Structure 1
Amino acid sequence: MPPVRRRLIFSVLVGTTMLALWLLMYRAVTPMALTPMGLIVLSLYTVLLPWLSIGTWNAIIGFVLLRFRVDPLASLLPQAVAHAAHADQDQPITASTALLVCVRNENPTQVIRNLSLTVDGLVQAGAASFFHLYILSDTNDPQLAATEALKFEAFKATAAQEIDLTYRRRDINEGYKAGNVHDFCERWGDQHDFALTLDADSFMSGSAILRLVRMMQADPQLGILQGLVVAMPSQSGFTRLFQFGMRLGMRSWTMGSAWWQGDCGPYWGHNALFRIKPFTEFCKLPLLKPDRFGPRHILSHDQVEAVLMRRAGYHVRVMPLEDASWEQNPPTLPEFVQRDLRWCEGNMQYGELIRLPKLAFVSRIQLVLAMLMFAGAPAWIGLMLCAGVSATMTSQLSSAFNIDLLKLLFVATLVLFYLPKIASAVDVMCSKKQRMAFGGPGKFLLGVFIETLFSLMICPIMWFNQTVYLGRLFTGRSKGWVGQTRDDHSVAWLSAVRLYWLHTVFGCACLIAIAVNLPHAFVYSLFFLLGLAVPIPLAVILSWPSVGRWMTLKGVGQLPEETMPPKDLLLLELPALLTRQV
């Protein structure tokens, strides 16, 4: 089916869903006439409809492809590219590929551990001569920079017989990670055909890298090829639950979105391959309007680079199947929030880029959706605030709202919000092989249940943080690029109180108002307000090593890599895998 027809079908499905939900909400808030409170609720809910409806149909289409297509890739990729994805040693490697590892104030020992195994995989495949490893450092801590230089130079000496390796540290970190990559393109880009981007916490097997290279070799118009990234097994309680939910959500979501996005696919900035010549020529990022500190650089560079590559006439695609490509997720709630807010700031910068000339229509839609992913947070918080305020107006509720329709809309919204995870869970349960990969039906369903409770509590916490942060952005306050703590650690009670006291006050106030004035609605309110009442104990308890170790031993949030650990991951000696072997 041509991409234009797919996008037309998808637009009709999404538009119909948005209209149906909007009409249901309109009828719910106008039993007699539209009141000021009803108008506010209707407006806030309208903001949520695009993201909610698109997620719904991504999930449904993805589920159909996963469940009823023997070879989903054949429906998503050009024939030559899909064939290359299945090829093992049939197609020789002919292109020169640079492996780009971007680091900034990272633990060099962990980076070297991951890279050593990747290089070993390329050597065993007899393809290492076609690759050159570049460690591109933006480290600005002098003491860490000195240690980093010593360790990477030592690694270079030991790896010299297996692969070419270059280590470079920039003194001026202009443009953050995107600037780091483009500095490589300008210095060494003409020596290679492709480049594979890896973050400090990325790990890809040699076979996964070779598959991406073969796929790009098969299509000269392929500019960026994003591999599907999944999480490494973790022993952090918070991370286990988060990445279990992400694993479910990504399966159907990515497959469904690839169906209609086609050659205007996503780029996530790591575990992806790009064609160097057009990337260098067409994907250098523009500067944003200056603030009081001077010109501003784009933080969320990846999607902008994707739309610029597409504007240049090259395809941007994702291979939406799990393929030995991993990343590490933040170990605690505070670290996760910090990363999320950096993405929030970066995505909201897209408002200045939507009107770039000659962008594909789908590319503009993608930039808008990236903004809506975070712009929806104030709408969710506003709806919660409306619920709390409305609870104090019980005498007017029957005239302001149709309670039966609100209940129906509440259930429909909740189901559609979680449909990507529901679709993936059904797909897993329909396959004995997949059920057993997740530890068996019992462990899998227990994990789905616990992760659903976890997600119900985490989502409002994230919405609250994003809402407050968006307010700060509009007043000119920015965090910029902040380093991450990747190692497991405990969150102190006082730290959690300092970070989440405002969330707790807001959540408890709304819950108390509803419990006192509208007790029959209290159970419904827990779905979206409970998380805001308990972020402090949630952040602390899920960071305790004892909780994470217990969850690992009991298989809570168990991933397929823990059931049948791949050889590559076993060599990393991850604590989660070592604990399960005890």
Structure 2
Amino acid sequence: MALSVDKIVDIAPSKDDLLPPESRLDMPVQDLRHWAPGKALPAGRDRSSVHVCRWFVFSATLALTGLGTYEIYQVISPADITWLQVIFAALFAVTFAWISFACASAMLGFLCMRKQRYVLADLADVKRTALLMPVYHEDPETVAEALARMGRALAKEMAGDKFDIFVLSDSRDAVHIRHEAQVFAKLRQDLRDEIQVYYRRRPDNHHKKAGNISDFVTRWGGAYEAMIVLDADSMMAGKTLVTLARAMAADPKAGIIQSLPMLHNRWTLYARMQQFAGRVYGPIVANGLAAWHGRDGNYWGHNAIIRVKAFAESAGLPELQGRKPFGGHIMSHDFVEAALMRRSGWAVYMLSGLGGSYEETPPNLIELAARDRRWSQGNLQHIKLLNVKGLHWVSRLHFLQGIMSYLASPLWLFLLMTGLVLSTVAKYAQPNYFPEGFTLFPAWPVFDPERALRLFTLTMAVLFVPKILGIIAAIFDPELRRGCGGVTGLIKSLFAESILSALLSPIMMLIQSGFVLDILLGRDSGWKAQKRTEEAPPFTELLYKHAWHIIAGVLVGVLAFLITMQTFLWLSPIVLGLALSAVVSWSTGLVSVGRSAHDWNVFRIPEESKPVFENMDGASPERLAAAE
């Protein structure tokens, strides 16, 4: 449905025309410092398999980390142990534990690749559910088109009377606000016979998106059993929306049920690479997370259903003490809301095999970095929340995972710098052939190429096992295999994704390390509207933005070459990625390159041959079979 501006300019909706009567709920601010023991109710018993899965993931992580740390110790300590070697080994152990944990979750997910079994209530037993669309300076026509598709899909599922759509605006620009109100008034008019649509704009965007949702809860939440929270780029099939509502109606202890959003609808090379990775590797990781999280899971802020009264009672967010960026309102509120609801005894879990849940990815590296800046600040802010009283230990682990997702980059950077210093010392420092203590023979410096090769093989295995398992699972899924261009397309895409990831990873390492430094220096990210078009930035602009990445790549390359040719070859992927950062960033942000890759049968996904917009009446029948 395309909404024409010409058809809506005459609509001048009043505030009362676009809002239902209020049904208020109290949403008290939660006390993070005090929690009475035993206050929380049980969230429902997990199956015994959840405990087995947790044992598997943590045991595998510990074993891989121990093996990797032992191997690096053997490689770097042929004679005396120096403080520099200890630092290097410690940094390696932390970063290797991080990738080992992801690998272990993926292995578990592959072993659990089966349809989830879950109970659904009858549609007649589903109570009123609000479909919430928070917007902040988004293109109103695009959002309205998505909501129209979802609204009509719900009507086809005979559920239009069970759902109401709320557009919750935080926009500030006067011209944009008037246009926005007119577009959504037209949407309300178009869908009046199928589903109710309401539009509200807050005069004060206190606490950003979290405040936007809590404003709905406190003013209208009393009229609804549940709410499904969307992002401006969300798209969900009618059957998926109904299934989430039926699942919550069947589980009185469920507080949040998260779907697995797949990426779609982008054509730049960068976005198509992300879409392929999410479509093929994502389900493996998600199945693993669902298996060991059990009913102590997490919430990603959108494409999930939430029990409204439980949310109001449990998830009121306080202001954090201190100045920004660590103080002030909680930015990555979703993790915290899930942890507080779990603290109060409500189950939080994911239906990873549900299907029919989608979102869009940033079209290029620059837009990803702009979004990542906010996320990094929000996740690092969770350092102050690790000691919140009463949290389940898995909730604290979710906080740690979010923190590490950004601290991993500066840790990797420190590891690289320490390795370069070690190599420089090894070449230019006078070796100590006779360390302190009695010895019959000199301690000759020795480099063990066999152990170095074993360590390299282990590291590559840990990095590539999740990808290879995803490819294997895709090959045995006929629908996914065909949609990704067959076995040949999957293999070609695996190689292309691995090469591009190797080039992009060092760039993101420096970008995220810069974010962490900014945050430690007290610089706030602010709140800017996300750019969702696929227009590539000019190459000259990218040269400026990536200038220090290029300089860093050249300096690392020169230093490595001066040490030894072997060091240079080991670091060549990092050197190449940084030195070519502007070219890589520019080329991967082009739609023309992305379409060429599609023509070469690279990074294809099923949603490109049959777009989501053409199949909004329901999700994949195969993936929903277990829900019926």
- Displacement of 1:482 in angstroms is 2.3
Match of 1:16 among 63, 79, 86: 63
Report the equivalent of 2:370: 338
Letter in 2 for 1:221: K
Does structure 2 retain, via aligned residues, the 8 Å contact 1:394–1:518? no
CA–CA distance in 2 between the matches of 1:506 and 1:430? 43
**Are residue 536 (structure 1) and residue 596 (structure 2) matched?**
no
Report the equivalent of 2:602: 556
Does structure 1 retain, via aligned residues, the 8 Å contact 2:263–2:274? no
Letter in 1 for 2:555: A
Cα deviation per residue 1:172-224 (whole Å; 9 max; x = unaligned)?
11111111001100000000000000111001111110111111111000100
Does structure 2 retain, via aligned residues, the 8 Å contact 1:14–1:50? yes
Does structure 2 retain, via aligned residues, the 8 Å contact 1:388–1:511? no
Letter in 1 for 2:593: V
Report the equivalent of 2:11: none
User: Bigger shift: 514-523 or 171-180?
Assistant: 514-523
- Displacement of 1:403 in angstroms is 4.5
Change (3 A) 1:17 1:545: closer
Letter in 1 for 2:406: F
CA–CA distance in 1 between the matches of 2:566 and 2:97? 30
Unaligned segments of structure 1, at least 5 residues: 75-81, 572-582
Match of 1:236 among 259, 268, 277: 268
Report the equivalent of 2:551: 505
Report the equivalent of 2:97: 50
3-state SS, counterpart of residue 83 of structure 1: coil
Unaligned segments of structure 2, at least 5 residues: 1-46, 432-443, 618-628
Q: TM-score normalized by structure 1?
A: 0.91
Report the equivalent of 1:495: 541
Report the equivalent of 1:139: 171
Cα deviation per residue 1:56-96 (whole Å; 9 max; x = unaligned)?
11111111112xx4x3x13xxxxxxx133xx9xx6545211
Letter in 1 for 2:264: M
- Displacement of 1:391 in angstroms is 4.4
CA–CA distance in 2 between the matches of 1:163 and 1:142? 28
Match of 2:119 among 74, 83, 105: 83
Report the equivalent of 1:79: none
CA–CA distance in 1 between the matches of 2:319 and 2:367? 28
Q: TM-score normalized by structure 2?
A: 0.84
Letter in 2 for 1:368: L
Report the equivalent of 2:564: 518
CA–CA distance in 1 between the matches of 2:325 and 2:345? 35
Does structure 2 retain, via aligned residues, the 8 Å contact 1:236–1:548? yes
Change (3 A) 1:295 1:11: closer
Percent identical pairs in the alignment equals: 30
Instruction: Say which one has the larger Rg.
Output: 2
**Are residue 33 (structure 1) and residue 80 (structure 2) matched?**
yes
Cα deviation per residue 1:484-503 (whole Å; 9 max; x = unaligned)?
11011121122112211111
CA–CA distance in 2 between the matches of 1:140 and 1:156? 22
Letter in 2 for 1:470: V
Report the equivalent of 1:371: 403
Aligned length: 556
CA–CA distance in 2 between the matches of 1:172 and 1:283? 20
Cα deviation per residue 1:156-185 (whole Å; 9 max; x = unaligned)?
122222211210111211111111001100
3-state SS, counterpart of residue 355 of structure 2: strand
CA–CA distance in 2 between the matches of 1:55 and 1:332? 25
- Displacement of 1:394 in angstroms is 4.9
Report the equivalent of 2:508: 462
CA–CA distance in 2 between the matches of 1:460 and 1:249? 21
Cα deviation per residue 1:388-442 (whole Å; 9 max; x = unaligned)?
4344345269848644423322332232123322210121224444322211111
CA–CA distance in 1 between the matches of 2:612 and 2:265? 11
Does structure 2 retain, via aligned residues, the 8 Å contact 1:391–1:513? no
User: Bigger shift: 404-413 or 470-479?
Assistant: 404-413
CA–CA distance in 1 between the matches of 2:247 and 2:170? 31
Cα deviation per residue 1:84-138 (whole Å; 9 max; x = unaligned)?
3xx9xx6545211000001001000000111111011111111100111100011
Change (3 A) 1:569 1:394: farther
Does structure 2 retain, via aligned residues, the 8 Å contact 1:129–1:163? yes
Does structure 2 retain, via aligned residues, the 8 Å contact 1:387–1:510? no
Does structure 2 retain, via aligned residues, the 8 Å contact 1:225–1:319? yes
CA–CA distance in 2 between the matches of 1:352 and 1:261? 23
